[in-house]
Amino acid sequence: MLRVGMVGVGTMGRAHSDAYQRMPDVAKVGVYDIDPERAVTFAQEQGWSAAYGSFEEMIAAVDFVDVCTPTPTHAGYVLSALYGGHDVVCEKPMARTLADCALLIEAARETGRTLMPAQVLRFFPEYSSATRIVQSGEIGNPATVRTRRGGGFPHGSDDWYADFAQSGGVTLDMIIHDFDWLRWTFGPVASVYAKAASLDPSRSTEPRDYALVTLTFVSGVVAQVEGTWAEPGGFSVSLEVTGDSGMIHFDSTESVPLRISRRQTAHSDGVVVPESPTSTDPYYLELRHFVDCLKAATRPSITPEDGYYAVEIALAALESARVGNPIVIPVPREI
């Protein structure tokens, strides 16, 4: 039985708590939040043993730590947990800056503890299926990719999403999902070019609400990534991968979740997705993977370096949007 302690009891904390509830080999020992009353209410509602008055007190009672707090606080909590001798799973993005990401990688190496950035998109069956199809060669050599992710403006405790300095806007907070999935599927990114905007200038002039990013991969694949926090019709995602032998198409608003169009047959086939998010929660799959790795003393499939590279792409997109030029990402190199 592994004992988990979680810091942060907002939206992501609730999603992670629901996942742990389905794991009989994980004891939900305690939570900590900067709002003590909210932590107590959360612990009572979600079946945690205790709400602790300090982070240090909580980690002294657990085997691993789950960080679900606003992005700027990730590095501090993760460092304290790692150097306190604990394994850590941390919500994306791993940190707000590359310097902090590098500190977390160094800390994980020094302590020998496991650190997994929670890039959950890899566990959504449509995306994992698309990766499998691409890497199997079923659509031939991939050439172009388009992804889109949109929803309403998020609201968190103290409205930290609205503070660009904290959240990094839609680029760092939301389409980092796509950046990680794309790099996982197509390999290292060579350059980034982006345009970004705030669609509500009365609230912010920072490029917070909308981004259109072009990634050029070392392999030659080109991907266009669109993200918006001003979607009027609710949350939706889509992706399209074109290869020289076929195409993958996914749109969350369509009845057939994933389709393959094969060039030689000139028709589209609906693909049965192994497990739908409606039946198997991707957050459960993600955290189950982390727990299983801890129990088996194996390295998770998502590494701290993956977390670094995802943040690097997102920050390069923000810089490109600011200066109006492509940003070259040096590869290969060690962090």
Contact status, residue 82 vs residue 24, Cβ threshold 8 Å = no
| Amino acid 335: pLDDT | 80
Give the mean model confidence (pLDDT) for residues 202-207: 62
| Amino acid 277: pLDDT | 42
Contact status, residue 29 vs residue 62, Cβ threshold 8 Å = yes
Residue 163, classified by CB atoms within 10 Å of its CB into exposed (0-12), middle (13-18) or buried (19+), is middle
Question: Cα separations (Å) of 330 from 26, 171, 216, 240?
Answer: 41, 20, 12, 27
Percentage of the chain modeled with pLDDT above 90 = 77
3-class SS at 26? strand
Contact status, residue 134 vs residue 239, Cβ threshold 8 Å = no
- Residue 33's contacts (CB-CB under 8 Å, 6 or more residues apart) are 7, 8, 9, 13, 39, 42, 51
Structure tokens at 185: 């599927």
Residue 276 scores a pLDDT above 50:
no
DSSP string spanning 212-224? EEEEEETTS-EEE
Most confident of 142-156, 196-210, 286-300: 286-300
3-class SS at 211? strand
- Beta-strand relationship, 87-91 and 64-67: parallel
**Dihedral of the CA atoms 258, 263, 267, 271 (nearest 10)?**
-20
| Amino acid 12: pLDDT | 96
Contact status, residue 259 vs residue 270, Cβ threshold 8 Å = yes
| Amino acid 171: pLDDT | 94
The Cα angle at residue 124 between residues 119 and 125, in degrees rounded to 5: 145
pLDDT category at 333 given cuts 50, 70, 90 is confident
**What's the CA gap between 89 and 80, in Å, rounded?**
13
**What's the CA gap between 72 and 89, in Å, rounded?**
16
Structure tokens at 315: 């920050």
Give the mean model confidence (pLDDT) for residues 42-70: 98
pLDDT, mean over the chain: 92
Span 110-140, pLDDT tens digits: 999 999 999 999 999 999 999 999 999 999 9
Percentage of the chain modeled with pLDDT above 70 = 90
209 versus 28: the higher-pLDDT residue is 28
Residue 120, classified by CB atoms within 10 Å of its CB into exposed (0-12), middle (13-18) or buried (19+), is buried
**What's the CA gap between 201 and 36, in Å, rounded?**
35
Helix-helix angle 304-323:176-186, to 10 degrees: 120
What does the DSSP 8-state code read for residue 264? T
Tell whether the torsion through CA atoms of 93, 98, 100 and 101 is positive or negative: positive
Residue 254 scores a pLDDT above 70:
yes
Q: Which domains does the chain have, with CATH numbers?
A: 2-119+284-302 (3.40.50.720), 122-277+310-328 (3.30.360.10)
276 versus 41: the higher-pLDDT residue is 41
Least reliable range by pLDDT among 32-46, 154-168, 210-224: 154-168
| Amino acid 203: pLDDT | 59
Contact status, residue 236 vs residue 174, Cβ threshold 8 Å = no
324 versus 198: the higher-pLDDT residue is 324
| Amino acid 204: pLDDT | 58
Q: For residue 300, how many other CB atoms are within 10 A of its CB? A: 20
**What's the CA gap between 306 and 304, in Å, rounded?**
5
